[in-house]
Structure 1
Amino acid sequence: MDYNTLIARLSRRGVFRIKPGLERTRGVLNALGDPQARLQAIHIAGTNGKGSVAACMESVLRSAGYRTGLYTSPHLWDVRERIQLNRQPIGAAAFRDIAQEVLKAERQVGYTLTFFEFLTVMAFKTFADASVEVALIETGMGGRWDATNVLDHPALTLITSIGLDHVQWLGPSETAIAREKAGILKEGTPLIHGARGRAARAIAACARKKNVPLLQIGRDFYATPGVVQWERSRQALSYTGPAGTRTLTLGLMGRYQLDNAALALAAFETLQKQGWKITEASLRNGMARVNWPGRFQLETLTEPRVLFDGAHNPPALQRLLDALKASPWHRTPKTFVFGVYRDKDYSRLLAMIRPHAAHLVVCTLPGARALPAKKAAESFGRPDSPPQAGSTGSPYTRRVSGRNTCGVTLVKDPRQALGKALRLTDKNHLVVVTGSLALVGKLLNKAKPAERGALCPV
């Protein structure tokens, strides 16, 4: 079976299909010799920021000389990005070979894994076969029933921020969601977490029940902003934690990345106490060089400039909007390019965008899960005028906050939507692409997924 045929076969399992329970994953892993049991793993859950924290930790640990495995989701361009060795996606031949072994194990035990479960098993098998020294494992959704939660003895667990997302699966409140995320806690294994308020209290209660040592953001550690080098895509921060205060450079942009960096730095302090060899030089080098595309990623080679951020739920979008307020483009008119999945809280997302948009271009993502552009435009506000005949999009206008007129344009194809936005926007203004990492992936250069992306042709 060639690589493309394999991907098509796996995709038919349903990329977004969810079946709670760990028995299928454990059964197939057992048939493969339980590769996850051979890993020294760091397990990361949370609503937003999991990938950024994992990327920070991977960058520093690799800088410190550790052979790393990195498992994250979703991918931007190619499914192989989800399984990386030393920050490089595994090759197509290796992907195919490992997948064949997992398929054989499925037949042996009589289980059919979901798409995510299958890739999780592949990741554990890949990392064990490669003898990685540390595996950074990001949950897909939740924690308690997540396929990654077969790690019985991780070296460390982290929970990033908690917000409302996947409420149909995780519960209607931040407290309920926090309890589900805290399902990854293992007795005696240290936890670093970035939750606040009721979610933080729920996590602390779960930690006490399992005798889990805990460090909490805002109480035990925190980061404050320093000078931002916008043209170099770097920002300085001051971190204060159990070991004291240090100032360093972060290779990720956006004010919201300060919390993610603080989580990673607190984790390193904990690992150093456990005897991990992480020098100050490797820590500084790794944090400065970390790269995680599609998160507050500013492209300066176009006029107007384009900012990509895969915010896909209200907490993530609020962080994006707050980061924009702290940027040089606070008062700059902005055109938003927006595409989203129908199971997201798209009405709330659009309501949050409305006060900040000079113009909105809505598009339809590929796949049955996508929200049609027309429905997004209707949610944004009923048009005051019909589509103009012969136009490439469908321009509408509505009154925003009683003062500003916001144009709304429908362009089904994401790449054409970006092209339309660039033509609509003054060269000194800003285009913001958001709503989904799938949209960001469509509009960034597919050729170099491990590097800083460039715009696709439009």
Structure 2
Amino acid sequence: MIDLGLKRIARLVRDQGKFPWRAIHVAGTNGKGSVCAYISSCLKFSGIPSARFTSPHLVDRWDCITLDGAAVSEELFLATEAAIKQKNARENIGASEFEILTATAFEIFSRERVDLAVVEVGIGGRLDATNVIGPPIVTIITKIGLDHQAFLGSSLEEIAREKGGVVKVGSRCIVDGTNDGKVLSVLGKMAEEVGAESLHAVRPDMVGEGGGDGSICEITTEAFGRQRFEEFLTGNYQPANLSCAVHALSHLSREYPSITASTVFAGVRNTSWPGRMDTVDLSCLFPGRERRVLLDGAHNTQAALALSDYVTKELRTGGKFVSWTIAASKGKDVEEMLNILVRPGDKIVAVEFGPVDGMPWVAATSSEDIIGAVSEMFGGEIEAVDGGKDVLGGVKTAVELAGEEGRTVVAGSL
């Protein structure tokens, strides 16, 4: 169940949010996780004891909490979570699953005595459980789009006001300058009203062709001057995300001088963000044959458009088709996603993911419904297979359908 508000989380955490560590708070619709990944990697290379909290988890519930770049141990997570749950029961707080997870992460940060914590907002910002923290050392707001309208509002301006609720008095705010002008106007007014130190809308100085995946970008900051990056995460939106991260790090370097141009360069080069534009080698499932698969959540319209752009430029070259493994959370607009991603001649294996540990409100769209949407939209132009609840089998089938002439992509929901 999603139940936004700060009253319960304020009772659940120690000292009502007055923590011994300082936060870098990251909000937005798309790009939050990438920005968190860049910053936490750079903090690690700068030798600063740091932590990160992102959501949702990818495999295990505790992999959303990291210390110095490594996921916390299951033992530490479960012991801390048990203490939080005991407090929740003892004081009859009635906290939600996400509030318990947030409080668990924050308690681990305090116990492990980190200096800085990179914290990703769950939903929105103003009433999100992570907003229990006091004024962060820096706030970052990435690209804002239409998502979670039932909770945040139906227009970009309404959503911006909710996400802008993380801007606090005395804090610097870094905003993705590629946002819609209306979004930037709303956020600028909010920063002025709350007494933020300053608000900076940033973007790369230059984005061009070259580098490992075909992209390079140059970013100029006060602390590091003009830097040229050729190795960073995949996706046409990544230069904008990287710009937000590097500008935030430039600000942090005022108080943490071990953050330098060289540690930022090394941190960016070594950043990974599994499950998002992530190419995985599945040769272990096909002995003697190289099989590389692209994984991406494509969890909303903006993300699906970005995935489609990458697939068109990088995978469909030479007339190749795409063999998809598709799953989706219940309530997602499957037809819109298919319309953005799929082209005549592609092949689809529809699957259903099982229960999500720690997120009981998340359920899968039936594979039968996905197949029905494919049939209605494309008729016989698309070969579609119902993989049911066998997700691994569905991926194997998609790889086999791709053969030597196609490429395989797994997408739909994280």
For 2:200 and 2:137, the matched residues in 1 are separated by: 15
The structure-2 alpha-carbon separation of the partners of 1:55 and 1:320, relative to structure 1 and needing over 3 Å to count, comes to same
Partner of 2:371: 377
- Aligned pairs for 1:27-176 within 5 A: 27-29=11-13, 32-34=14-16, 36-176=18-158
Partner of 2:253: 272
1:296 is the counterpart of 2:296: no
Partner of 2:286: none
Match of residue 340, structure 2, among 326, 329, 352: 352
Residue 55 of structure 2 aligns to a residue whose secondary structure is coil
1:237 is the counterpart of 2:217: yes
**How many pairs are equivalent?**
396
Amino acid at match of 2:268: M
> Residue deviations 1:199-233, cap 9 Å, x none?
22222221222232111134xx5551342325xxx
* Deviation (angstroms), 1:355: 2.8
Partner of 1:449: none
For 1:356 and 1:283, the matched residues in 2 are separated by: 43
> Residue deviations 1:232-260, cap 9 Å, x none?
xx954322445642112334222222211
The structure-2 alpha-carbon separation of the partners of 1:222 and 1:300, relative to structure 1 and needing over 3 Å to count, comes to farther
**8 Å contact from structure 1 (residues 256, 323) kept in 2:** no
**8 Å contact from structure 1 (residues 35, 128) kept in 2:** no
- Aligned pairs for 1:252-263 within 5 A: 252-263=233-244
Alignment TM-score, normalising by the size of structure 2: 0.90
- Aligned pairs for 1:384-423 within 5 A: 398=379, 405-412=381-388, 413-423=390-400
Amino acid at match of 2:304: L
For 1:214 and 1:118, the matched residues in 2 are separated by: 31
**8 Å contact from structure 1 (residues 305, 429) kept in 2:** no
Residue 63 of structure 2 aligns to a residue whose secondary structure is helix
Partner of 1:203: 187
For 1:211 and 1:271, the matched residues in 2 are separated by: 19
For 2:394 and 2:88, the matched residues in 1 are separated by: 42
Amino acid at match of 2:274: P
Match of residue 296, structure 2, among 305, 309, 319: 309
Residue 398 of structure 1 aligns to a residue whose secondary structure is helix
Amino acid at match of 2:310: A
**8 Å contact from structure 1 (residues 241, 266) kept in 2:** yes
Residue 226 of structure 2 aligns to a residue whose secondary structure is strand
**8 Å contact from structure 1 (residues 64, 279) kept in 2:** yes
More displaced 10-residue stretch of structure 1: 162-171 or 196-205: 196-205
**8 Å contact from structure 2 (residues 49, 115) kept in 1:** yes
1:248 is the counterpart of 2:256: no
Partner of 1:185: 167
For 2:365 and 2:300, the matched residues in 1 are separated by: 14
Residue 37 of structure 1 aligns to a residue whose secondary structure is coil
* Deviation (angstroms), 1:54: 0.3
Alignment TM-score, normalising by the size of structure 1: 0.81
Which segments of 5 or more consecutive residues in structure 2 lack a partner in the other structure?
A: 284-289, 356-361
Partner of 2:358: none
**8 Å contact from structure 1 (residues 311, 435) kept in 2:** yes
For 2:328 and 2:248, the matched residues in 1 are separated by: 33
Residue 42 of structure 2 aligns to a residue whose secondary structure is helix
The structure-2 alpha-carbon separation of the partners of 1:357 and 1:192, relative to structure 1 and needing over 3 Å to count, comes to farther
**8 Å contact from structure 1 (residues 335, 357) kept in 2:** no
Partner of 1:7: none
Partner of 2:326: 338
For 1:228 and 1:361, the matched residues in 2 are separated by: 33
**8 Å contact from structure 1 (residues 41, 156) kept in 2:** yes
**8 Å contact from structure 1 (residues 225, 258) kept in 2:** no
Partner of 2:208: 225
The structure-2 alpha-carbon separation of the partners of 1:77 and 1:409, relative to structure 1 and needing over 3 Å to count, comes to same
* Deviation (angstroms), 1:34: 4.4
Residue 381 of structure 1 aligns to a residue whose secondary structure is helix
* Deviation (angstroms), 1:283: 0.8
The structure-2 alpha-carbon separation of the partners of 1:357 and 1:197, relative to structure 1 and needing over 3 Å to count, comes to farther
For 1:101 and 1:108, the matched residues in 2 are separated by: 10
RMSD over aligned Cα atoms:
2.1
Amino acid at match of 1:342: K
Partner of 2:307: 320
| Percentage of identical aligned residues | 29
Residue 149 of structure 1 aligns to a residue whose secondary structure is helix
**8 Å contact from structure 1 (residues 191, 215) kept in 2:** yes
**8 Å contact from structure 2 (residues 279, 293) kept in 1:** yes
Partner of 1:387: none
Residue 314 of structure 2 aligns to a residue whose secondary structure is coil
> Residue deviations 1:83-121, cap 9 Å, x none?
111122221221122122212322343202111100100
* Deviation (angstroms), 1:277: 2.9
